[in-house]
Structure 1
């Protein structure tokens, strides 16, 4: 239910989010890091993401949910909604064929 609510509000503002994100150097790379590389965000990276989201929340009020205490638990939902790809990237698999 919460995911559906967030998805509807974020999709409504998706273009504005991407327009603003282009002005913030490194924001999208950092936001999609966990999804693209399967490595967890560090504490410093989460704090940097919070700063970016705080800036975005001035334009898009629903973003406030992600900067509230515990909002970092919702970040994967935000990333999933904003991801333009239909599927996740495959995990890093060795390119050496099995015999």
Structure 2
């Protein structure tokens, strides 16, 4: 029973992280679209740059996961190189209270 509860907690936490990452990506896409017809403020430029870096970081993690045995290799790689994950999936993400 304890394992099932732990899995539920992990799924809930990752669902929130994925939602956060998608909302940041949506905002970045809006800003990129806006930049085609008007200037972005310095804050908006920083947001776009950070989000594009996050997207670029997720590609290698996905590639490792898709390799044979990648599901076992990815957690080890994350321990060695924690910066490989997008910002929403890092441990400093605020945890949701029940």
TM over 0.5: no
TM-score range, shorter chain: 0.3 to 0.5
Considering only CA atoms, is the larger Rg found in Structure 1 or Structure 2? 2
TM-score, with normalisation over the residues of structure 1? 0.35
Which structure has the highest helix share of the two? 2
